[in-house]
């Protein structure tokens, strides 16, 4: 929103990409595994979801008329997202762009990334201290 609506000067918001990268690099340098998921829905899917929020009484609480105003800026948001992804996806903190029109598919992709990442960490239990076999709890 900051970029799309020019809430602050470009010089200010554009510096944030570097700040994000520096912070994430600090985390990675200290051993944190970073996974970032960008859930992308199509404009048609967004329209359907917004309409469902109006048509289904139990979903009315999700509707915010501000979403309709922001929807008019779809192309500007897509460009802002594209630049953000380009500038903040790094080797140690990559973005995974996930097609999210179908929730089952979105969930499957995210789950696979999580499983692959966890398996790649090659985790194991720490070594037990010596002499445990000789201890009896009374």
Give me the residue spans of the domains in the chain: 10-119
At residue 44, the pLDDT reads: 98
- H or E element: which one contains 96? strand 95-99
20-73, pLDDT tens digit by residue?
999 999 999 999 999 999 999 999 999 999 999 999 999 999 999 999 999 999
At residue 113, the pLDDT reads: 98
- What does the pLDDT average to over 98-124? 97
- What does the pLDDT average to over 73-92? 97
Summary mean pLDDT of the chain = 96
Q: In DSSP terms, which residues pair with 99 in a beta bridge?
A: 40
Give 18-44 as a DSSP string. HHHHHHHHHHHHTT----EEEEE--HH
Residues 10-119: name the CATH superfamily.
Answer: P-loop containing nucleotide triphosphate hydrolases (3.40.50.300)
Name the band, by pLDDT with cuts 50, 70 and 90, for residue 84: very high
d(CA 89, CA 86): 6
d(CA 33, CA 23): 13
């Amino acid at each position: 929103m900051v970029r799309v609506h020019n809430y602050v000067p470009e010089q200010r918001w554009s510096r944030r990409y570097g700040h994000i990268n520096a912070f994430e690099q600090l985390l990675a340098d200290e051993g944190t595994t970073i996974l970032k998921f960008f859930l992308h829905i199509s404009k048609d899917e967004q329209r359907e979801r917004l309409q469902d929020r109006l048509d289904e009484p139990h979903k009315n609480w999700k509707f915010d008329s501000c979403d309709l105003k922001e929807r008019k800026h779809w192309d500007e948001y897509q460009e802002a997202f594209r630049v953000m992804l380009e500038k903040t996806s790094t080797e140690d903190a990559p973005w995974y762009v996930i097609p999210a029109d179908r929730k089952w598919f979105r969930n499957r992709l995210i789950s696979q990334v999580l499983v692959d990442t966890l398996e790649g960490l090659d985790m194991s239990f720490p070594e037990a201290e010596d002499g445990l076999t000789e201890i009896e709890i009374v």
